[in-house]
Amino acid sequence: MLSNFRAITLSYKSAPIHIREAVALSELHIRSLLLKIRDIIDVSEVLILSTCNRTEVYYSSNIDYSSQIISLICIEKGILEVETYSPYFEIIHDHEGSVTHLYEVSLGLQSQVVGDLQIINQVKHAYQWSADANLAGPFLHRLLHTIFFTNKKVVHETTFRDGAASVSYATVELVETLTSEIPQPKVLIMGLGEIGADVCRNFSGSRIKDIYVSNRTPKRSESIAEECGFAIVPFEQVWEAIDDADVIISAIVRDQAFFTKEKVAQLQLLKHKFFIDLSVPRSVAADVEDLPGALVYNIDNIKSKANEALEKRILAIPQVREIMRESLEEFNDWSKEMVVSPTIQKLKNALEQIRLDELARFAKQMDESEAHKIDMITKNIMQKIIKLPVLQLKAACKRGEAETLIDVLNDLFNLDQQAEVKTN
């Protein structure tokens, strides 16, 4: 019998950022947690997904292990107060509900920025780590490959993934456009609050690799630099880095502009220097752009572009949901059929054993040619006999009546006892 697919999820919908940060799992954490779950809990298939907006564990089991898995997440992160974090996790016990949730997450329907461009790659990484730990079985393999195929249909047939629909992603897209003719552009990100950190994370798949971060709080710089693989510039030395950078992204929170015309005028503006101001109030003074070589983009420019893309994506949601519905219907039919696969195999084995036993009884009375013909005839008979019960079983699956038919077949052919004999 197929195990029930379950989900444990904590996301931006249920938890504030300080909770999400505390339980967020790096690749090393996920690989370690997969091994802990495999060794401690009796589950065959597990997928762990962790992003800046969600931490989720999917697993196949007829037993609810949610409290144990939440405890293991806390142990992995060195959290002692499990009871403080447990209420933020939502538990989905329903098989089809968990499958649907993973679909929606993977396609970007559950993302904070609808149609998130990164989430499908994050799911692919999670799947690879499960496979590496031998925790991706037939069900998870089929589910993930179906989701990846569905995602391709969404990309090719809708506008759901068009454009940069978040400020942080639009910022990265803008930087890539501005620096397209610079061989090795240097980017400095200043201010690592929520938006600055999001910009850093969105650079993870960019062609731009020479990225520096700076923050008034050194610990914050260290944390983001380690997570994203960037270099750190101490805040006291930031003007030297500004002088050297091609692009400065400022997400500094302060009442007065940090980049004044007077300060920027002291820089060696021998080539274009791009200032992208994500701060409110603005951290780059408006008159900085009066300086030759200084080009300023503020958050309103970027938000306008992001909002356009977001409107397109929202309009595409009904089309995405229809593609998802068709895919889910096919997958759930396959999933239900998996329930009867063992019974079908047992029935085939039972009938084949009867056939072989009868052939053995008369083997001495036939020559080789006769034996071959009888073998072919009886095989064809058996295939025709098995065809109707198999079709009835699959139809019963769709009606939700498979268990009754399984019991009838088990009683008629004594399938359980035959399986035990074969095992022994």
Residue pLDDT, tens place only, 173-230 = 899 999 999 999 999 999 998 889 989 988 977 889 999 999 999 999 999 999 899 9
In a domain, 317, yes or no: no
- 38: pLDDT strictly greater than 90: yes
Q: What sign does the dihedral 371-372-374-378 (CA atoms) show?
A: positive
Indicate which residue of 52, 74, 200, 397 is catalytic: 52
Task: Mark whether 283 and 339 lie in a shared domain.
Answer: no
In a domain, 313, yes or no: no
Task: Mark whether 210 and 267 lie in a shared domain.
Answer: yes
Task: Mark whether 65 and 124 lie in a shared domain.
Answer: yes
Domain span at 189: 167-305
Quickly list H helices, 203-260.
Answer: 218-228, 238-244
Task: Mark whether 296 and 379 lie in a shared domain.
Answer: no
Alpha carbon distance 69, 65 (integer Å)? 6
Task: Mark whether 66 and 11 lie in a shared domain.
Answer: yes
In a domain, 366, yes or no: yes
**pTM of the predicted structure, to 2 decimals:** 0.69
In a domain, 291, yes or no: yes
Could you say which of 157, 185, 212 is where a domain stops? 157
Could you say which of 106, 134, 157 is where a domain stops? 157
Phi-psi map region of 163: left, alpha, beta (phi>0 left; psi -120 to 50 alpha):
left
Q: Tell me, what's the pLDDT at 195?
A: 87
In a domain, 75, yes or no: yes
Q: What average pLDDT does the segment 112-125 reach?
A: 87
The helix or strand, by DSSP H or E, that contains position 410, with its residue range, turns out to be: helix 402-413
Task: Mark whether 237 and 299 lie in a shared domain.
Answer: yes
Q: Are 206 and 267 in contact (CB under 8 A)?
A: no
What is the per-residue pLDDT across 307-335, written as a single tens digit (0 to 9) for each? 888 899 999 999 999 999 999 988 987 87
Question: Between helices 368-399 and 402-413, what is the axis angle to 10°?
Answer: 150
Q: State the CATH number of the domain containing residue 60.
A: 3.30.460.30
Alpha carbon distance 358, 376 (integer Å)? 14
Alpha carbon distance 10, 23 (integer Å)? 9
SS3 125: helix
- Chain centroid to CA 106: 5
Q: Tell me, what's the pLDDT at 168?
A: 87
Alpha carbon distance 50, 53 (integer Å)? 8
Place of tokens 């950078």: 245
- 424: pLDDT strictly greater than 50: no
Q: What average pLDDT does the segment 355-368 reach?
A: 85
Task: Mark whether 199 and 258 lie in a shared domain.
Answer: yes
Alpha carbon distance 14, 17 (integer Å)? 10
- 243: pLDDT strictly greater than 70: yes
Residue environment code for 167-190, b if the CB has 16+ CB neighbours within 10 A, otherwise e: bbbbbbbbbeebbeeeeebbbbbb
74 noted as active-site residue: no
Task: Mark whether 56 and 150 lie in a shared domain.
Answer: yes
Q: State the CATH number of the domain containing residue 202.
A: 3.40.50.720
Q: Tell me, what's the pLDDT at 256?
A: 87
In a domain, 321, yes or no: no
Q: What's the total number of domains in the chain?
A: 3
Task: Mark whether 151 and 276 lie in a shared domain.
Answer: no
In a domain, 329, yes or no: no
In a domain, 327, yes or no: no
- 409: pLDDT strictly greater than 60: yes
Q: Determine if the peptide bond prior to 292 is cis (ω within 30°).
A: no
Task: Mark whether 249 and 292 lie in a shared domain.
Answer: yes
Could you say which of 305, 325, 352 is where a domain stops? 305
SS3 228: helix
Task: Mark whether 143 and 9 lie in a shared domain.
Answer: yes
Q: Tell me, what's the pLDDT at 406?
A: 67
Q: What is the CA radius of gyration of the chain?
A: 29
Q: Tell me, what's the pLDDT at 1?
A: 47
Task: Mark whether 142 and 82 lie in a shared domain.
Answer: yes
